[in-house]
Structure 1
Amino acid sequence: MKYMLLVCGDDTADASGMAPVEPWVEGLGDRGVRLHGHRLALPADAVTVRVRGGEVLRSDGPFAETKEYVAGFDILECESLEEAIEAAARHPVAAIGAMEVRPFWEDEDAEGQIRLLDTRLTEAARERDIERIAACYAPDAAVYADGREHVGADALRKWLDEMFSGVTGPVTREVLEFRVHVDESIAFGHALVRFRATRTDGASLNDLMRITTGYRNAGLRWVIAHQHISQERS
């Protein structure tokens, strides 16, 4: 279960005796509990935005005048709320400020969406449908294959066209292994994929490829942002 840890500072508190944060960050990071996080600028650097009657209203500073403010955040992955609370209690700022521990809203199966994306690639490859394959990639995706770099939608389509022009009939894309690790807005996949087809000269194509993929959450869907394809021994 993932938790957002909001680190709330207090501008009236004396932080001179506060312990350094680095040991807390390193300790939880080594255990895989703290996934990532960052400090935030002071409330004086904030801009509050409201829209009223179609007009954008902008005001400098935080939306509420209070001595407590969000000074940073951390993303934790814990077995339970109690474990997340224990981690928050060990944060140095807890001694002078407050730590808000809030569970993530669990209504999306990100890994399932990425696996479905991979299934779409398999189906599109069978039909040699370049547009359906390209739709699985970000417009600025970088693909490394055949010893070359293909960056952007036009380069990707050109590379796919070159590949499919060398074969006839359907292309079988058999996924032998597929591991996915999701971390909020990015994810990584490691796959072993076998491609089978008939070359234009009548010979059989039977290539085993190791594919490492970086995915990006584009809001309502996941897309491929980076991919490295290398050939394994058949």
Structure 2
Amino acid sequence: MKYMLLVCGDDTNDASGMAPVEPWVEELGDRGVRRHGHRLALPADAVTVRVRGGEVLRTDGPFAETKEYVAGFDILECDTLEEAVEAAAKHPVATIGAMEVRPFWEDEDAQGQIRRLDAELTEAARTGDVERRIACYAQDAEVVAGGRHHRGAEALRKALAETSVEPVTREVLESRIHVDESVAFGHALVRTDGRLLRVTTGYRDTGPRWLIAHEHATEVSS
């Protein structure tokens, strides 16, 4: 399960004797516990945005005046909350500030969403529905297929409209997916209308759903 670790600094404490963070990052990275993370700029560089009565209100600085502030974040993948708490307790900032450990909202796993997207693409090809196929791609997607390079969903739409006058058979023979937070990579062997293709796909998590951001298909010699 994934956990968000909010690293909270405290201006009232002396950080001069704090241990360096790099060994903690390296150890948890080697163990596959720390998936991602980064430091944040100081609260003085923050901008707080509110909308009231349709008017956008912008205030320089953090949303709350406090000695404690979020100095950075880390995304952990642990089997239990206790394991995440143990990892947080070893963070050097825990000795002078505070660490907030919060589980991600549980949803369908990323691999399941991506495989469902691929099934949608297969069904759209089978029915010859161009718009349904385009809906599987990001607007800025880069697609290389049949020796042609399509930049953006609109270019791909025009190409499909020219060639997809009939439904296309599409069968995924084998597929491997690697997910890393908001991006994922897939390698698949696909049979379509008698041709065998090796397809490499880059996916992007757009928030509401995963979409194809890059696709490169090459024909496999028989």
TM-score normalised according to structure 2 size: 0.90
Give secondary structure in 1 for the equivalent of 2:13. Answer: coil
Q: Indicate yes or no: 2:117 matched with 1:117.
A: yes
Offset at 1:232?
2.4
Q: Give the counterpart of 1:228 among 192, 216, 222.
A: 216
Letter in 2 for 1:188: F
Identity %: 77
Q: Indicate yes or no: 2:60 matched with 1:60.
A: yes
Aligned to 2:21: 21
Give secondary structure in 2 for the equivalent of 1:113. Answer: helix
Q: Indicate yes or no: 2:97 matched with 1:97.
A: yes
Q: Give the counterpart of 2:198 among 206, 210, 233.
A: 210
Q: Indicate yes or no: 2:3 matched with 1:3.
A: yes
Q: Distance in 2 between matches of 1:55 and 1:153?
A: 34
Q: Indicate yes or no: 2:172 matched with 1:175.
A: yes
Aligned to 1:130: 130
Offset at 1:117?
1.4
Q: Distance in 1 between matches of 2:179 and 2:88?
A: 23
Offset at 1:188?
2.2
Offset at 1:75?
0.5
Q: Which ranges of structure 2 fall in alignment gaps of 5 or more residues?
A: none
Q: Distance in 2 between matches of 1:162 and 1:186?
A: 31
Q: Distance in 1 between matches of 2:159 and 2:29?
A: 40
Give secondary structure in 1 for the equivalent of 2:14. Answer: coil
Letter in 1 for 2:168: V
Q: Distance in 2 between matches of 1:87 and 1:53?
A: 43
After superposition, the CA RMSD in angstroms is: 1.9
Give secondary structure in 2 for the equivalent of 1:65. Answer: coil
Letter in 2 for 1:217: D
Larger displacement relative to structure 2 (156-165 or 216-225):
156-165
Q: Distance in 1 between matches of 2:167 and 2:107?
A: 37
TM-score normalised according to structure 1 size: 0.86
Aligned to 1:31: 31
> 1:83-102 CA distances to partner (integer Å, 9 max, x unpaired)?
11111111111111111111
Q: Which ranges of structure 1 fall in alignment gaps of 5 or more residues?
A: 197-205
Give secondary structure in 2 for the equivalent of 1:171. Answer: coil
Q: Distance in 2 between matches of 1:154 and 1:48?
A: 36
How many residue pairs get matched? Answer: 222
